[in-house]
């Protein structure tokens, strides 16, 4: 049974006006709006706060509190919304290969969505940080597919798929995955590791990302990068907790949590 989710509150959060139906047009409207409105961020793990994946907690944090989250939070929230609208949606898991060798064996630490619609199998992923998909892909290997940002393609071998994006003229692999359906307990186990283990990169540094129509924002600790579409990237080093706070609120549209550890964490960065 699909948990209750306030679809109207979600639509207001991402700035969608008008009716929604389980159609490709609606899906193509929701995905880029979600990527622009709800940032990728890891403040909860950084501050030692729990990352909760039940529907009520996701709605409270990402919709009503003006926060963001990482892949499980983004894609589970969107999954609940799409199911409430009437879409046929299934969770998948991926092994991240971004900035890793192509033959690296990594854990299934990422979530994406498969949507069965109008005789097509589609892929949606609003939770991959600085390379979050801002469009909807068809599950058609070898086909270069345009999105509002970079072109993407899928490579397939023996039932395994590699998600790639063309960045500065070169195809880069984001992750590899198969079509085995994943369920809430699968994500809960990995989420616990990523949000609590002392060696998890979500526990040891600040990460934030958000897409705009003409750019992508990415923050890694104190380094802010603005990737302009069709243009050069701008890199700035933020030199104080005040600058970090300002960037999180301005560039990533975050309502920062009222937590006494936040200032200390930002100062350490």
Catalytic residues: 71, 110, 125
CA distance 207 to 204: 10
CA distance 111 to 127: 8
CA distance 240 to 263: 10
Sign of CA dihedral 94, 100, 103, 104: negative
CA distance 164 to 207: 21
Partnered with residue 164 across adjacent β-strands are: 153, 173
CA distance 225 to 23: 35
CA distance 19 to 55: 22
CA 45-46-48 angle, 5° bins: 60
Three-class SS of residue 88?
strand
CA distance 202 to 129: 12
């Amino acid at each position: 049974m699909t948990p209750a989710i306030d679809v109207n509150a979600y639509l207001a959060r991402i700035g969608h006006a008008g009716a929604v139906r389980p159609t490709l047009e609606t899906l193509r409207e929701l995905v880029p709006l979600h990527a622009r409105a709800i940032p990728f961020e890891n403040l909860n793990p950084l501050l030692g706060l729990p990352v909760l994946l039940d529907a009520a907690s996701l709605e409270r944090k990402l919709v009503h509190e003006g926060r963001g989250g990482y892949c499980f939070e983004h894609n589970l929230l969107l999954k609940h919304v799409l199911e409430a609208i009437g879409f046929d949606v299934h969770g998948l898991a991926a092994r991240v290969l971004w900035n890793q060798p192509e033959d690296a064996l990594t854990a299934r630490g990422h979530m994406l969505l498969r949507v069965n619609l109008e005789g097509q199998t589609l892929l949606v992923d609003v939770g991959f940080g600085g390379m979050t998909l801002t469009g909807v892909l068809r599950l058609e290997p070898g086909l270069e597919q345009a999105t509002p940002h970079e072109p993407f393609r899928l490579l397939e071998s023996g039932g395994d798929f590699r998600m790639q994006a063309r960045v500065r003229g070169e195809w880069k692999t984001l992750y590899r995955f198969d079509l085995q359906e994943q369920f809430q307990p699968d994500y809960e186990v990995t989420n616990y590791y990523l949000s609590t283990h002392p060696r998890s990169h979500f526990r040891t540094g600040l990460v934030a990302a958000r897409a705009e129509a003409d750019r992508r924002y990415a923050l890694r600790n104190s380094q802010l990068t603005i990737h302009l579409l069709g243009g050069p990237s701008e890199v700035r080093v933020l030199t104080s907790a005040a600058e970090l706070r300002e960037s999180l609120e301005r560039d990533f549209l975050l309502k920062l949590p009222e937590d006494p550890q936040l200032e200390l964490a930002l100062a350490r960065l």
